[in-house]
Chains A and B, each alone.
Chain A
């Protein structure tokens, strides 16, 4: 091959690569693959979503196990063993989902209530102290009054954890010093705060 023809071949090769590079279907664009990712739009489905809603009369995978956790509105049963772990989980979930309106103490003075949301009732009023567990479960699931249902955000197990913590909150306003274990009662006496009711007021 003469040097001229070598240069010619090289030039063609370079031109070929540049041409292919500009061509959409030969280019490997691995950063933008033609696949659907969570929340990416879709031109395949009519509503433009790649996330699909549940079809009618179907059950989401894994959710059948939750059947045992459903409780009717008037039932006072509690389907889970109540232990410290459940209460701590309930406290955490309560802080995330409930405090904006119901407040850290459950008195209905959350930040969003302070900003003009319909003021929820205090959990410490007699009506709600007497209400069965199923009443709270139903309200978390389906909503009540101005409160929308939280079934999408809070799975059934966590709803019960929240109810357990809610009961602890209610008890905190009505517990007697005599109900405490001896060691804690001793501590309470030492701090000089011993009163009949720990919460101080109702």
Chain B
């Protein structure tokens, strides 16, 4: 009886088994890469807002402090989205007849909230607190990037747990002098390593074991 398959098919079968291993490996890599891609983390993606509010203009050009609008950032878990009245502090006079601010004026007239699109979205099982980070000397731009250069705000970092842990394992490189926490132009100097270690002690930061314990962020 003649052979059904020619001798040369032996190679094809071995090659298939061999490449299947690679395919499986590649599939695993693809899943890992996808989870870290901007498509899922939303890093670097700007999103349309009901009003095209520019942080570049208000922070970069006008030099308004973050806390003028985000008033609760030093005392509360959330930094705070300003009420429409805060917009009207200036825009009752400035640009008070331009069309693109009509949603703001309408919100002020009707007492109906402007529905801003949330950019920095954490999972509901993460209990992030702004005030503790700010009060220990982690600056705004460390997590939020150069907001003063963003016409529309985007998420500058991945917000993956890995990214949180990078700093929780070693906070020293990101600790600033207290008067620079809200500065947009702070860069670590040549002595940041020693300074950071000094701040860790002075400000009574918790140990790495405590900072990386599950219940520090998940409760």
Contacts and interface: CB of A to CB of B under 8 A. Distances in A.
B65 interface: yes
Interface size class for chain B? Answer: 20 to 34
A116 B93 contact: yes
Interface residues of A, number: 27
A37 B75 CA distance: 17
A49 interface: yes
Contacts, number: 61
A152 B113 contact: no
Q: Summarize A's interface: helix, strand, loop or mixed.
A: loop
A146 B92 CA distance: 8
A31 interface: yes
A47 B63 CA distance: 34
Contact of B94 (A37, A41, A117, A152): A117
B64 A100 contact: yes
Interface stretch (B15-23, B41-49, B78-86, B189-197): B78-86
Given A30-B123, A33-B125, A111-B63, A148 B89 contact: yes
Q: Summarize B's interface: helix, strand, loop or mixed.
A: loop
Contacts of A19: none
A25 interface: no
B209 interface: no
Given A38-B77, A96-B68, A152-B85, A146 B93 contact: yes
A35 B85 contact: no
A37 B81 CA distance: 13
Interface string B94-116: 10000000000000000111010
B71 interface: yes
Nearest to A143: B89
Nearest to B62: A111
Nearest to A48: B113
A100 B115 contact: no
A6 to B, nearest CB: 25
B88 interface: yes
Contacts of B89: 147-148
A148 B92 contact: yes
B123 A148 contact: no
A39 B111 CA distance: 15
A57 interface: no
Contacts of B31: none
A118 interface: yes
Nearest 5 pairs of A and B residues by beta carbon: A31-B123, A33-B124, A96-B65, A38-B78, A96-B67
